[in-house]
Amino acid sequence: EPFATFNTPAARRLTTEAILPAIREHGAWVGETSVLVAGGRELPVSQLVIGHRDERGRITRYSAVMRDITRQVEARRQMQQQTATLLAVCQSIPSIVAVVGLDSRYRFVNDAFERWVGAPRERIVGRHVREVLGHADYERVEPWMRRGLAGEAVQFEREYKAPDQSRFFA
């Protein structure tokens, strides 16, 4: 059967579990899968599959448009590897690291930051800096944060005692 000669086992499962149900319901499916090419090599593809219906509304045939996405898949893999490496570095250094968004809410904190604050990142990420540091320390760092968030390279050092941990366990 021609379908089995170029579709991988994973693509055949995806066809049964997701693609055909989507075509029955919506008339088409768009997504990523892979196909087998010369020599049995697996090629990642972006794919559009369309179900063509007869006058009674029954699907009588399918059309597919595929585009080779090997470069995009490799770029994603490299980005995931870089992200994992950066995360490992951030987690292993003894310095506290925190990423704050334009809304002054924490987006990322490392293990050292968790230890310093005395709370797990689940209780820190998403909170406003003022909630975590307290009003007085927030007022001290806010001008630096504003400059950094505006794109300026800033550096400052300050001795801090750990914030009041009671705010995280209330």
Q: What is the pLDDT of residue 141?
A: 87
How does DSSP classify residue 128?
B
Q: Provide the b/e sequence for 93-111 (b: ≥16 CB within 10 Å).
A: eeeeebebeeebbbeebbe
Q: What is the mean pLDDT of residues 155-168?
A: 67
pLDDT over threshold 70, residue 16: yes
pLDDT over threshold 60, residue 103: yes
| 2: CB partners within 8 A, 6+ apart | none
Lowest mean pLDDT among 48-62, 70-84, 130-144: 130-144
| 90: CB partners within 8 A, 6+ apart | 97, 108, 110
Beta bridge partners of 99: 108
For β-strands 98-100 and 106-109, DSSP reports them as antiparallel
pLDDT over threshold 70, residue 168: no
Confidence band, pLDDT 50/70/90 cuts, at residue 4: low
| 135: CB partners within 8 A, 6+ apart | none
CB atoms under 10 Å from CB of 61, counted, come to 9
For β-strands 28-37 and 41-53, DSSP reports them as antiparallel
pLDDT over threshold 90, residue 120: yes
Confidence band, pLDDT 50/70/90 cuts, at residue 87: very high
Residue 124 burial class via C-beta count within 10 angstroms: exposed 0-12, middle 13-18, buried 19 and up: buried
Q: What is the mean pLDDT of residues 20-46?
A: 94
Q: What is the mean pLDDT of residues 97-102?
A: 90
Q: What is the mean pLDDT of residues 12-28?
A: 94
**For residues 167 and 170, what is the distance between their CA atoms, to the nearest angstrom?**
6
pLDDT over threshold 60, residue 27: yes
Q: Name the average pLDDT for the chain.
A: 89
